[in-house]
Amino acid sequence: MDQKLDEWGFPTKINELIGRRMDAALREEDAQLESRITQQIYDELERFLADHPTNERVWTTLGDMYCLAGAKTEELYCYHRALAINPMNVEANAALAGVIYELSRPSREAKPYLEIALSNCEGHTDEETILGIVVNVAAFLGFTDLARSATALGEQRFPGEDWSLPDQEPKRGRAKD
């Protein structure tokens, strides 16, 4: 299957479907329409990956879709596939650290992903979102130095935004810096 790709190598048809799904969700249209569009996105992502298994962006997007569905096993698999292709994929590193936190796995598993996301996010199109993920996940896991570094970068790059550390105590049993 030969699909048209945007300037970042992402299939334009899938981008259009994701946009339609977001529009339907924002307008709070009937859930069946949103569900049909969501299924179309899954189908297109999997069809594309069958022909292009080394597209890290599509693996990351499929992981994001599984995140929305609460399918943690599939989500982890997709992010790991993206990172096998490109270990410096900022979105997959940040997302994988978040999943590790959500699953209450040992914090030492998440720290390298957070460090890679932080060290490579500057100038990224989703830099502000990625920094927010790093700040929150690092703080909740007890990596205060890493959370402070992300906060400092956020304050520098996006002044006027609230970059304060979350008030939540780290989860019990989590490692400190």
Host domain of residue 152: 96-167
DSSP codes of every residue in 40-88: HHHHHHHHHHHH-TT-HHHHHHHHHHHHHHT-HHHHHHHHHHHHHH-TT
Helix, coil or strand: residue 1: coil
The DSSP letter of residue 169 is P
Cα angle: 142, vertex 144, 149; to 5 degrees: 140
pLDDT at residue number 50: 92
pLDDT given for residue 65 in this prediction: 87
Question: Is the domain of 31 the same as that of 62?
Answer: yes
Q: pLDDT tens digit string along 110-150?
A: 999 999 999 999 888 889 999 999 999 999 888 999 999 99
User: Is position 91 within any domain?
Assistant: no
Q: Among positive and negative, which fits the CA dihedral 2, 92, 77, 62?
A: negative
Nearest to 117 by CA among 154, 71, 142, 166: 154
Is residue 100 located within the same domain as residue 127?
A: yes
Mean pLDDT, to the nearest integer, of 30-36?
Answer: 72
For 2, list phi and psi in degrees, rounded to 5: -110, 115
Same structural domain, 75 and 105: no
Same domain assignment for residues 102 and 74:
no
Mark whether 18 and 69 lie in a shared domain: yes
pLDDT band at 165 (very low <50, low <70, confident <90, very high): confident
- Angle at the Cα of 6 (from 42 to 10), degrees rounded to 5? 35
Give percent of the chain above pLDDT 90.
Answer: 43
The model's pLDDT over 68-120, given as tens digits with 9 standing for 90+, comes to 888 899 999 999 999 999 999 999 999 999 998 888 888 889 999 999 999 99
Give this prediction's pTM. Answer: 0.77
7 has pLDDT over 50? yes
Q: What is the pLDDT of residue 175?
A: 45
DSSP state of 175: P
Residues 101, 21 within the same domain: no
Query: Which residue blocks in the chain are alpha helix, DSSP H?
Result: 12-26, 31-51, 56-69, 72-85, 90-102, 107-120, 127-141, 144-157
Mean pLDDT of 52-67: 90
pLDDT at 25: 63
- Closest C-alpha among 50, 51, 121 to residue 92: 121
Across the range 149-163, mean pLDDT stands at: 92
CATH code, 21: 1.25.40.10
